[in-house]
């Protein structure tokens, strides 16, 4: 889906609104991630994805044909630049919040796996007093997961 504009100024106005909305969504999701409110953040995913696709499409279209924006007042270009910088900052905060939550989740999983391994008896299979324990299944921790 592309933006439908009457003229270059209208297109830029729509891009400004789109960029502003994307920044709002990214800031809101980052705040929800920081508060460990993932289900609430998830409710914003559909709109974010839809708008991000439009943003990417329009950005490519303008990059391929910069003449689309000829004759646009400089104040509109400056406003778009400000909103784009805000969007970039919001996305960086979003990425940091996700990174912190990911590190917490990985640490928790790692601690649980280490406790599970430590709590298991070590089977002795050879030598005097050798015996087999019933629960000798392995525990694997995939650090890439």
- What CATH number did the domain enclosing 61 receive? 1.20.58
**In this model, does residue 93 exceed pLDDT 90?**
yes
Q: What is the domain count for the chain?
A: 1
What percent of the chain is predicted at pLDDT more than 90? 47
Total-model pTM: 0.73
For 49-63, what is each residue's pLDDT tens digit?
Answer: 999 999 999 999 999
97, part of any domain:
yes
How far is 108 from 66, CA to CA, in rounded Å?
Answer: 49
Band the pLDDT of 21: cuts 50, 70, 90.
very high
How far is 116 from 2, CA to CA, in rounded Å?
Answer: 52
For 100-121, what is each residue's pLDDT tens digit?
Answer: 888 888 888 888 888 887 777 6
Q: What mean pLDDT, rounded, does the chain reach?
A: 85
78, part of any domain:
yes
Q: Which residues lie across from 124 on neighbouring strands?
A: 131
Range of the domain at 41: 8-119
64, part of any domain:
yes
**In this model, does residue 8 exceed pLDDT 80?**
yes
């Amino acid at each position: 889906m592309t933006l439908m504009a009457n003229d270059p100024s209208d297109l830029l106005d729509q891009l400004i609104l789109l960029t502003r909305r994307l920044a709002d969504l990214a800031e809101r999701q980052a705040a929800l991630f920081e508060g460990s409110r993932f289900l609430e953040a998830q409710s914003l995913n559909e709109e974010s994805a839809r708008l991000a696709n439009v943003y990417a499409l329009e950005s490519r279209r303008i990059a391929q044909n910069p003449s689309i924006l000829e004759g646009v007042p400089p104040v509109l270009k400056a406003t778009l630049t400000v909103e784009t910088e805000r969007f970039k900052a919001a996305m960086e905060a979003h990425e940091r919040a996700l990174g912190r939550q990911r590190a917490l989740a990985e640490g928790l999983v790692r601690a649980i796996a280490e406790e599970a391994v430590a709590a298991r008896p070590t089977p002795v299979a050879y030598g005097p007093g050798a015996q087999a324990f019933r629960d000798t299944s392995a525990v694997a921790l995939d650090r890439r997961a």
